[in-house]
A = this chain, B = another copy of it.
Amino acid sequence: MTVSPQNLAHDAYRNLRDAILEGRLPPGAPLSRRRLAEQFGMSPVPVGDALTRLEAEGLVETRARAGSRVRIPAPSEIAGNYELREALETHSARLFAETASPAVRERLLAAAARLDAGFSILDRCPYDARRHARIERMHVAFHLLIARATGCSELVTAIERSRVLLFNWLFMLSAELAGLPPGWHTELAKALVSGKPEEAAEAMRTHVRYRRREVAEKLRELARRAAKQERMARGPQRRTGK
């Protein structure tokens, strides 16, 4: 689809969003309207519009007359977002178990198998950002396949939004998160396809919480390291900047 140039603000929005989600603009990265405008070949106005939108979505934060930047979340916010995900995805799983057609159930099993294969490859090879991003897209697609099968588009977008935030915020951790148990998604898919709604929801709850615990540990570790670096950097350094 080369169809989409609705307007400049929309282009800027998409560009910035993609850049943030791909980690090219990590949390804390400065977002100067004028600089971005020059880079995109437009005036600062549509860039500002895009930033307003991204701010409403929680990806960007702006301090009046002191600059915008990619939002840096507190660890508690990440935990809260996992809580949100648990609420949304368990409900999604419940609806899936209640209403999904046989064809969709088949597709879910197939997608789970592919996804698990991808994760196992990820496990055996050294870290590669490109490959990692590709698998992560598969992962998102897997969960959205469940959500879409419920026929409730509001649920889909809510899950997507919550995932977007988590993925962006966890980009820094993604390289060092441990692998998943073999057959992790296949097991989930089986519960969704063949189980009762209650069982499907509980399987999804377990699924979401597994990663959550791991992420929480990593975040604590990261906070410790950051504190230590802060202490060390107090002494000698002067920031010369880009």
Contact = CB atoms under 8 A, between A and B. Distances in A.
A155 interface: yes
A83 interface: yes
A52 interface: yes
A138 to B, nearest CB: 24
Contacts of A81: 154
Contacts of A79: 152
What's the number of copies of this chain in the assembled complex? 2
A83 B7 contact: no
A64 B152 contact: no
Interface string A47-86: 0110011001100000010000000000001011101101
A2 interface: no
A64 B154 contact: no
Nearest to A165: B154
Contacts of A80: 152-155
A73 to B, nearest CB: 10
A155 B87 contact: yes
Nearest to A48: B49
A191 B36 CA distance: 53
Contacts of A90: 87, 91
A154 B77 CA distance: 7
Contacts of A95: 83
A158 interface: yes
Top 7 closest pairs, chain A to chain B, by CB: A87-B91, A80-B154, A56-B56, A83-B152, A80-B152, A84-B154, A53-B56
Given A7-B64, A80-B155, A84-B154, 8 more contacts: A52-B52, A52-B56, A80-B152, A80-B153, A80-B154, A83-B150, A84-B158, A91-B91
